[in-house]
Amino acid sequence: MEGEGVLGKLRRLDVYPKINEDFYRRTLSGGIITLASSLLMLLLFLSELRYYLHAVTQTHLVVDTSRADTLKINFDITFPALQCSIISVDAMDISGLDHLDVKHDLIKQRIDSHGNVIDTRQEDIASHKMEQPLQKHGGRLEHNETYCGSCYGAEMSDDQCCNTCEEVREAYRQKGWGITNPDLIDQCKREGFLEKIKEEEGEGCNIYGFLEVNKVAGNFHFAPGKSFQQANVHVHDLLPFGKDSFNMSHQINRLAFGDYFPGVVNPLDGAKWTQLLPFGMYQYFIKVVPTVYTDINNHTIQSNQFSVTEHFRVAEVGQVQSLPGVFFFYDLSPIKVMSQESYESFLHFLTNVCAIVGGIFTVSGILDSFVYHGQRAIKKKMEIGKFS
């Protein structure tokens, strides 16, 4: 008897009283609502299950204190109307470190007007060896004497040799000089420097590679002519090319500061500019945000995201401040983004599933009740003739 009393007390706690099937009344509207709510419940359950099985990325911000690192800049840029032989790549930063006429870790591809690759070279396209050596500094070569070309006053030491046109131009650059007429340089005349530039007229150039720079604010740019410093001003020798204008139209196939990581969006990928004026300076002002991405296996990727503002400036011949070219000015954010991949907890998943089932069941019950009682009210009014 005592056991039955306990069971009876437990039975009275049932908040789900059972109704005899004789009192049930099934309706067409109830069947439609049941089917619709079941489908909705299944879709939401599958969506929640997919969310639970896939890792989510949680992001928070911290102050970036890692200023001693380097910054890797990956780029792939196409100039459809500017030949490779006259483009140079320079990088400089506020710490005073300059990388002028960069050639390492950089590939140039000559392309025709249809975008087909003509030639691929890692060194400067205009750098060719002479087939017939000149005399040593204007004199005759003695027996077993190695040829040593003149640098035309730009020698840094007595034993320095300039055996190619490119070496003469490099010696001039280090002196802060510009070559006004390459035909006055025997090496350039022998190699046909100007003739080769004219032969490449109408060609384009694709440049890709990477730069390793200090992790401080700076800029890198693509501009015609070899660069050098003159009175603490960065200039390019444009006179040797004998051109009145330089078409700096370009397409940025890829530009990234650091390695790729899931979810990164590089806003300049695919950007394209077509130059309509004879001279122009394209400027991109970039804000680099350091990012640390940690995947579900705790593998960490040190990279960066960035935002950009674009600007076109009309360049005028003879003004150093408006050199024709494509310039990327970057600055570093003091805030670092920390992204961490993780899975949702099972308890959270179970809570959401219960909320989906209970919520849809309750709402569909309210909707069914509203439809059922509405139908009955309308039917009753029709029977007494008050429905119009």
Tens-digit pLDDT profile for residues 313-370: 876 555 545 678 899 999 999 999 999 888 788 888 899 899 998 898 888 888 888 8
pLDDT confidence band for 146 (50 / 70 / 90): low
Segments of the chain assigned E as strands: 56-63, 70-79, 87-93, 98-99, 106-111, 117-121, 204-214, 218-224, 227-230, 233-236, 250-257, 271-273, 280-294, 300-314, 325-332, 335-342
How many residues can be counted in the chain? 388
- Report phi then psi at 31, rounded to 5: -65, -40
Q: Which residue has the higher pLDDT, 88 or 387?
A: 88
pLDDT confidence band for 170 (50 / 70 / 90): confident
pLDDT confidence band for 19 (50 / 70 / 90): low
How many percent of the chain have pLDDT more than 70? 83
pTM of the model: 0.69
Pinpoint the alpha helices (H) of the chain: 2-12, 28-53, 165-175, 186-191, 193-199, 346-384
Q: How many Cβ atoms sit within 10 Å of the Cβ of residue 386?
A: 8
The per-residue pLDDT of the chain, averaged, comes to: 80
Given a cut of 50, is residue 256 above it in pLDDT? yes
Query: What is the chain's Cα-based Rg?
Result: 37
Could you please report the per-residue DSSP string of 340-380? Answer: EEEPPPHHHHHHHHHHHHHHHHHHHHHHHHHHHHHHHHHHH
Contacts of 72 by beta carbon, 8 Å cutoff, 6+ apart: 210, 211, 212, 257, 258, 259
Given a cut of 60, is residue 137 above it in pLDDT? no
The pLDDT assigned to 55 comes to 77
pLDDT confidence band for 220 (50 / 70 / 90): very high
Residue 344 corresponds to which amino acid?
E
The pLDDT assigned to 14 comes to 59
Q: Which residue has the higher pLDDT, 379 or 316?
A: 379
The pLDDT assigned to 372 comes to 77
Q: Which residue has the tokens 């790549």?
A: 89
Which SS3 state, helix, strand or coil, does residue 158 take? coil
Contacts of 142 by beta carbon, 8 Å cutoff, 6+ apart: none
Given a cut of 60, is residue 144 above it in pLDDT? no
Mean local confidence (pLDDT), 64-72: 80
- Report phi then psi at 181, rounded to 5: -140, 100
Look at 19-28, 35-44, 71-80, 122-131 and tell me which has the smallest mean pLDDT: 122-131
